[in-house]
Amino acid sequence: MHSLLVPVIAIDGPSASGKGTVAQRVATALGFHYLDSGALYRLAALAAGRAGAAWDDENAVANVAQTLDVRFVGEHILLNDIDVSTAIRTEAIGVGASKVAAFAQVRAALLERQRAFAQVPGLVADGRDMGSVVFPQAALKVFLTASAHVRAERRYKQLIARGETADLEAITADLEARDARDRARTVAPLMQLPDAHLLETSDLGVEEAVAQVLTWWQAANHR
C-alpha cells in the first residue's frame, strides 16, 4: 500500500535522547511496524568500513548504501545474512553513521528503503529527518530530546551494562559534536519542525514519554 495511505508517527531527535526506546514501545502499543532509521545509517557505515570505503568518501559510501543486503528479523539485524545487531551499536560505528548521514547521495540511496517500511496498519519511525524528509505527511510528528548531560549519562549506563569501558566526559563531548554536525549539515538537518510536538525527556521516564506520545496520537485521531 502506498505510504501516504498508511498512518505514520514520526519521532525525531538527537542521539541518545531515548527516541528509539519510546518509538518501539509506541509501535508495540499500537500494533504498528517500527523503523529505526539510524540503524540503516549505522549499517551503511559498517558495510562501507568492511568494504574498505572511507567514511569521508561520499561516492563510495553511497554505492555501498545502494546495495545493502539487509534484513530485519525480529530484534536481529542481518547484513549479508550475518547478525550485526551488536556490531552496529558500537560508539565508533555511531560516529561513522553521523558522518555518512551528512552526504546527500547516501541519504538519497536510503530514502525509498525507509519509506517502504510504511505498511498497514501503521508505522512508528524514529530518526533525524523522519518528519521533515522521509514522511513529511506523517499523521503525528514528535521531536524528542533531552539535555546533553542526561543523554550522555544514559549512553554511559548502556555501555557499562554491556560490559564495555566508557568515559562520561568523552561521551558528552562526542554527543555535543554529533549534535552540532547533525544540525549544521546542509541536507536534512536535525531540527524541530513547526508542526512537531516537543517532548523533553530529561525528567521523564520511558513510560511517561510513551504515554504522552499515545495521548497526542489519540488526540490527532479525534480531530
The answer to whether residue 222 is domain-embedded is no
- Residue 2, pLDDT score: 44
Residue 223 pLDDT class (50, 70, 90 cuts): low
Average pLDDT over residues 59-86: 90
Average pLDDT over residues 72-82: 86
The answer to whether residue 221 is domain-embedded is no
Give the integer Cα–Cα distance in Å for 72 and 77: 5
Q: Residue 186: give the domain boundaries.
A: 3-216
Placement of cell 551494562 in the chain? 161
The answer to whether residue 205 is domain-embedded is yes
The answer to whether residue 61 is domain-embedded is yes
- Do 146 and 17 meet the contact criterion of CB atoms below 8 Å apart? yes
**Cα pseudo-dihedral 152, 155, 156, 159, rounded to 10:** -160
- Residue 40, pLDDT score: 94
Placement of cell 519510546 in the chain? 22
pTM given for the model: 0.85
CATH number of the CATH domain containing 85 = 3.40.50.300
Task: Kindly give the residue spans of alpha helices, DSSP state H, lying in the chain.
Answer: 19-30, 37-50, 58-66, 91-100, 104-115, 148-161, 168-184, 206-220
The answer to whether residue 223 is domain-embedded is no
Average pLDDT over residues 202-222: 94
Counted domains in the chain: 1
Tell me: pLDDT of 110 over 90.
Answer: yes
As given in the structure block, the three cell numbers for residue 177 are 559534536
Average pLDDT over residues 9-14: 95
- Residue 1, pLDDT score: 42
Please count the residues of the chain: 223
